[in-house]
Each structure stands twice: as structure tokens, then as C-alpha cells.
Amino acid sequence: MARDAVWAVITGMYEAYTRGDRAGIDRRLHPEATIFDSAEPAIITSREQLEKVRDARPDEGRVSLSAHGEIVDVWGETALARYLLRVEPERGEPETVRTTSVLRLVEGEWLIVHVHENPL
């Protein structure tokens, strides 16, 4: 089912993040994906910008991420996922981030083309 495949891409991206696996994250992102990161005021429009944001993040130790409360709709080759993301750093305060992700089916594979994060 397409909905399950879309949700697997989303949760797989966060599992890769908790492992520190940037390549695992990037495999799920379209090369031209745009991102409104919860900690970055400007929209990220390239991998180069994404790398700069990643490299500038403070060391919070191990971070646990849990996506839940998902609403996923699929229309042909486009999908929209809305969900809450619980972020629990080893050091620092936990937070919940309201997130919307847009995905496209590209050559049989769901890829994230846009992410919009909004801390609650």
C-alpha cells in the first residue's frame, strides 16, 4: 500500500538520523528537496546548504526521534504526510515539532521533496 511505503520513508529518515547516518537520510531526500528546518530561519534549497546547517548544529549527544500521529494522503505520484515529531536530546530540552512532508514517486521510489518543521 502506498501510504505504508510513504510512512516507511519518513520513519526511515528519522531512524537514519538517530544513527548519525547522513547518507541514509539523503537516500530518502530528492536531490532538489527544500526544507524549513525547525532550527534554521532560512529555507534550505540545496544539499550544500543542508550540510552547512547540519555542521552548525550544537552537539546534543544522542538524539531520540519519534514520529507519531501521522495523517498520510496519497494522490497518484504525490503524497502528503502530516505528523508530530518528538525530539529528545541526551543533553537539552525535549520538544515536539509539528511536521509536514511532501513526497513524489520517482522511478518507483518515494522521495521527500519538501519538509516543513514547526516547533510547538
Architecture of domain 2-119: Roll (3.10)
Pairing of strands 63-75, 78-89: antiparallel
pLDDT at 78: 98
Quick check: helix, strand or coil at residue 45?
A: coil
Please give the grid coordinates belonging to residue 35: 526544507
- For residue 119, pLDDT over 90 is answered with yes
- For residue 60, pLDDT over 80 is answered with no
pLDDT at 58: 81
pLDDT at 67: 98
pLDDT at 92: 86
- Label residues 77-112 b or e (16+ Cβ within 10 Å = b): eebebebebebebeeeeeebbebebbbbbeeeebbb
**Mean pLDDT across the chain:** 95
Mean pLDDT of 33-38: 96
